[in-house]
Structures are given as structure tokens and as C-alpha cells.
């Protein structure tokens, strides 16, 4: 192939990458995490709206099913996160793969392989967009369609040319702006759903011969030119022989923005060394993106609290568990005074290490003037501090129960059995 485009090179890289049994097992665990998030998302106000919309929609085809699943998965802020790309791949790729696999009657191994392919495409594009893109564009929404299209293309067994067309048409649908944070609206959930739906639609059309731009990424009127002033195009195909990006994806232990997790992790350790009620001041050191997204001293809603470094750090210092309840109005009021004692700032080494490492430090000054500091290079749930399969399954069980699943263990076993090439279970 003479002068292949970035999309063509990415397609070849992914298609020739070997898949081991352990890769499929890890993909099954992340599939479980994503679907458990979708069930929990049903037990929310936006989830109820989405379900009501689905119930009144005449036709829910695979693309719309991917939209619904993706939107539900991203509601409660407990879905996975790939640090280097700042993409939540699971809420986009897995709903798309699940919807297409169910429609086509495809079994576990092929579905999990498609998940690996989709994570790889979304995160490799995400690693190339540059930090300036993330200041305005929501990477999950914009990079996600490449992943959902790649997963759907794998399941439809599209050839290389058709896969490139699918990625081109997925990329031209990319969108998703951070403006929703200004008013605390429900738009972020729409981002995940539309990214999942866009890829399914693009792959389905490619199967019928519908063409798309092969240079969608690097073309003079392509995606990098439009939205990425400091793009790093080489990142799309860098380190081709490294592990699957799915294995480099973090799993969230707490229901808040991942940018808050390093401070939660540090504060939980700090809490063990502090007498309750003696904290006079709290200092948070972190990286710029964390402040850009999560600097909210006085959050006015559950959702704003999940995007508040100040609230998350005091919740972890003052409460044994950082669960859904700590973001609700009673706890926001109870912790308001302690939040006023929090200062946040950008500091090294965290600023330079981001996005490869999402770290922070928390310092508490207690009565009498003593200062105690805990630092985190990586947060719990990162590959370097991974949740064990037992912890991940316990998280899935909690989320499913929260979402009203009557027999979560049966469904958990069925999803994990996908790595044995079982059939996909019907979702309740």
C-alpha cells in the first residue's frame, strides 16, 4: 500500500495484533464492569428519562440499543478510564459491541475480541489528540466513535477497506463539548450514547459499501485540523507491539470523576492518622486538567459534587466510604464548612506526569499546627494499583443490585463465561 493513511495503518496494526486467552479474560472483566454500570444508571433521573424515551420509541435497532446502553453506562461516573487518552472506552465500545453481537448471534470470543479492537482504536486516537483538544472537547465523545466503529467492523467481519470507510464515517460524526459542566446538565451521558451509536451506524453502512474519508484524521480538512491544535499523529500507531490498551485501562472504585480519584485515595489513607474534627486546613496538589474540570468549591448538585476536588477530598477525609450517598444534598450540607478549608493548586511532579500518570498530594493541617501529607503517583484502580477480580466482581454486584437486578450473581457468571466462548446472555 503506497502512503497509507493513519486510519489504514491503525486498522492494520489492530488486525495483526495477537490475542491471548488472558486478554479475553480481561476483556470479559471490563465488559462486566461496563454492563454493571449500565444497570446502575437505570436507577437515576437521567436513566429514567432514557428508559421512558426507549419505551416510547417505535424501533430500537442495534444502533439505538448501543445509544441507550452507552448513555446508561456513563451516568453514575463509575465506568472505566484510559489515562493516556483521557477516554472512557467501556461506555462507548462495549455497548456497541454488545448490541451488534446480540443482533448477529455472535458468541463470546468474537465479541471480546471486538472489545479489544474497539478499546485500541478509541484510545490510540485519544492519545494523539493533544491536551488542547480536551479543554473544549470531551475525548470520550470525540474519540469514542472510532472505537465503536472498529468493534462493530470486527463483528461484521468487514475487510480492511470497508473498516477504513467505517472509521472515516465514524470520525466525521465526532462531537461532544464540555459546555454542559457550566450548567450541570445531562449532556455527558448523551456523549457516550451517541459515540456508541455513531460507530454502529458507520460500520453497518460500510457493510453495504458506503464509503468514508480514509484520511479523516490527518487530512487538510480532517479531524486533527479541525479540533486538535497540538495533535501528535504518531501516537496513533506508536508502540504497536505493546500490550492491548484495554489492559492499560483503569477501573473506578469510587463514583466520581476520575480526576478526583488520586485525592480520594490519598485522603482515605490520611484519614487513618487524623482525629475526627481536628482538621483546620486541607491542601491539594494536582495537575492542570484536574483543576480545569473539577475545581468546584461549593457544588450545588450530586453531579457537581462528583466533579468537585474540594468535596471529594473532604468526603474521603470525613467519611469511611466514598459512595453514592456522600454526593447527595445532606452530605453536601454537612461537609460545607470543611470544604471551605480546602485549597487546590497545580504542582509538580503531577503536572508534568499527566496524562501518563494521574497523581496528587493531600496535606492536612490539624489543630496544633501539625501537617500530614500523603502522595499518590497512581490511584487505586489504575493498572499499577489494580482492583483484583474479586474486588471488581464485588463492585459489579453492588452496581447491579443498585440498578434492581434480582439475581446479579447469575448474570455476573454468564458475562464472565464469555471468555469461554459462551453465548451472550439476555440482559434483564
Task: List pLDDT tens digits, range 288-306.
Answer: 999 999 999 999 999 999 9
- Domain shared by 313 and 220, yes or no: no
- Domain shared by 86 and 212, yes or no: yes
Comparison of pLDDT for 418 and 183, the residue scoring more: 418
- Domain shared by 111 and 46, yes or no: yes
pLDDT of 276 above 90: no
User: Taking residues 382-406, what's their average pLDDT?
Assistant: 96
Q: Is 426 a member of any domain?
A: no
Phi-psi region of 378 (alpha: psi -120 to 50; beta: other; left: phi over 0): beta
* Exposure of 44 in the CB half-sphere (CA atoms within 13 A): 24
pLDDT at 8 (0 to 100): 98
Rounded-to-integer distance, Cα 315 and Cα 333, Å? 11
pLDDT tens digits, residue range 82-121?
999 999 999 999 999 999 999 999 999 999 999 999 999 9
User: Taking residues 352-373, what's their average pLDDT?
Assistant: 96
Burial label for 355, CB within 10 Å (0-12, 13-18, 19+), is middle
Indicate which CATH number applies to the domain containing 262.
Answer: 3.30.1330.120
- Domain shared by 81 and 177, yes or no: yes
pLDDT at 58 (0 to 100): 83
Q: Is 1 a member of any domain?
A: no
pLDDT at 2 (0 to 100): 73
What domain range includes position 315? 258-376
Domain count, the chain: 2
Tell if the pTM clears 0.75, that is, is over it.
yes
Q: Is 336 a member of any domain?
A: yes
- Domain shared by 12 and 77, yes or no: yes
- Domain shared by 213 and 323, yes or no: no
Q: Is 174 a member of any domain?
A: yes
Q: Is 215 a member of any domain?
A: yes
Q: Is 428 a member of any domain?
A: no
- Domain shared by 229 and 351, yes or no: no
* Exposure of 134 in the CB half-sphere (CA atoms within 13 A): 23
pLDDT tens digits, residue range 315-325?
999 999 999 99
pLDDT at 400 (0 to 100): 97
pLDDT tens digits, residue range 200-237?
999 999 999 999 999 999 999 999 999 999 999 999 99
- Domain shared by 238 and 268, yes or no: no
What's the chain's Rg over C-alpha atoms?
A: 21
Indicate which CATH number applies to the domain containing 108.
Answer: 1.10.4100.10
Predicted confidence band of residue 57 (pLDDT cuts 50, 70, 90)? confident
- Domain shared by 229 and 272, yes or no: no
pLDDT tens digits, residue range 123-164?
999 999 999 999 999 999 999 999 999 999 999 999 999 999
pLDDT at 1 (0 to 100): 53
Between strands 360-366 and 371-376, the pairing is: antiparallel
Q: How high does pLDDT run on average in the chain?
A: 97
- Domain shared by 400 and 351, yes or no: no
Comparison of pLDDT for 183 and 200, the residue scoring more: 200
Q: Is 323 a member of any domain?
A: yes
- Domain shared by 247 and 266, yes or no: no
- Domain shared by 212 and 91, yes or no: yes
Q: Is 238 a member of any domain?
A: yes
Judge if the upstream peptide bond of residue 355 is cis by omega within 30 degrees of 0.
yes
Amino acid at each position: 500500500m503506497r502512503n497509507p493513511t493513519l486510519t489504514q495503518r491503525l486498522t492494520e496494526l489492530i488486525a495483526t495484533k495477537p490475542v491471548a486467552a488472558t486478554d479475553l479474560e480481561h476483556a470479559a472483566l471490563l465488559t462486566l464492569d461496563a454492563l454493571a454500570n449500565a444497570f446502575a444508571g437505570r436507577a437515576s433521573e437521567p436513566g429514567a428519562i432514557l428508559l421512558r424515551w426507549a419505551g416510547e420509541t417505535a424501533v430500537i435497532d442495534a444502533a439505538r440499543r448501543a445509544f441507550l446502553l452507552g448513555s446508561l453506562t456513563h451516568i453514575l461516573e463509575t465506568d472505566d478510564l484510559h489515562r493516556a487518552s483521557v477516554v472512557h472506552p467501556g461506555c462507548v465500545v462495549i455497548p456497541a459491541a454488545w448490541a451488534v453481537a446480540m443482533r448477529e448471534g455472535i458468541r463470546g470470543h468474537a465479541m471480546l475480541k471486538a472489545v479489544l479492537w474497539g478499546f485500541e482504536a478509541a484510545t490510540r486516537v485519544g492519545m494523539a489528540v493533544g491536551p488542547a483538544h480536551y479543554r473544549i472537547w470531551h475525548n470520550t465523545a470525540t474519540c469514542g466513535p472510532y472505537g465503536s466503529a472498529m468493534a462493530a467492523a470486527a463483528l461484521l467481519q468487514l475487510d480492511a477497506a470497508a473498516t477504513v470507510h467505517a472509521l472515516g464515517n465514524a470520525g466525521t460524526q465526532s462531537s461532544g463539548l464540555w459546555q454542559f459542566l457550566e450548567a450541570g446538565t445531562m449532556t455527558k451521558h448523551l456523549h457516550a450514547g451517541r459515540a456508541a451509536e455513531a460507530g454502529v451506524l458507520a460500520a453497518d453502512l460500510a457493510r453495504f459499501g458506503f464509503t468514508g474519508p480514509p484520511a479523516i484524521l490527518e487530512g487538510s480538512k480532517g479531524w486533527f485540523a479541525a479540533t486538535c491544535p497540538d495533535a501528535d499523529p504518531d501516537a496513533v500507531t506508536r508502540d504497536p507491539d505493546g500490550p492491548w490498551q484495554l489492559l492499560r485501562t483503569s477501573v473506578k472504585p469510587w463514583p466520581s470523576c476520575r480526576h478526583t480519584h488520586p485525592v480520594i485515595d490519598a485522603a482515605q489513607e490520611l484519614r487513618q492518622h487524623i482525629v475526627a474534627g481536628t482538621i483546620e486546613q486541607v491542601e491539594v496538589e494536582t495537575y492542570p486538567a484536574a483543576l480545569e474540570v473539577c475545581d468546584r468549591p461549593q457544588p450545588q448538585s450530586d453531579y457537581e459534587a462528583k466533579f468537585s476536588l474540594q468535596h471529594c477530598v473532604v468526603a474521603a477525609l470525613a467519611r469511611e466510604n466514598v459512595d453514592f450517598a456522600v454526593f447527595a444534598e445532606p452530605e453536601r450540607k454537612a461537609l460545607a464548612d470543611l470544604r471551605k478549608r480546602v485549597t487546590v493548586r497545580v504542582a509538580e511532579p503531577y503536572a508534568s506526569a499527566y496524562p501518563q500518570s494521574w497523581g496528587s498530594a493531600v496535606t492536612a493541617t490539624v489543630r496544633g499546627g501539625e501537617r500530614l501529607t500523603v502522595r499518590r503517583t497512581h490511584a487505586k484502580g489504575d493498572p499499577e494499583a489494580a482492583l483484583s477480580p474479586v474486588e471488581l466482581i464485588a463492585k459489579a454486584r453492588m452496581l447491579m443490585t443498585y440498578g434492581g437486578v434480582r439475581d446479579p450473581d447469575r448474570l455476573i457468571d454468564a458475562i464472565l463465561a464469555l471468555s469461554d466462548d459462551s453465548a451472550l446472555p439476555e440482559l434483564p
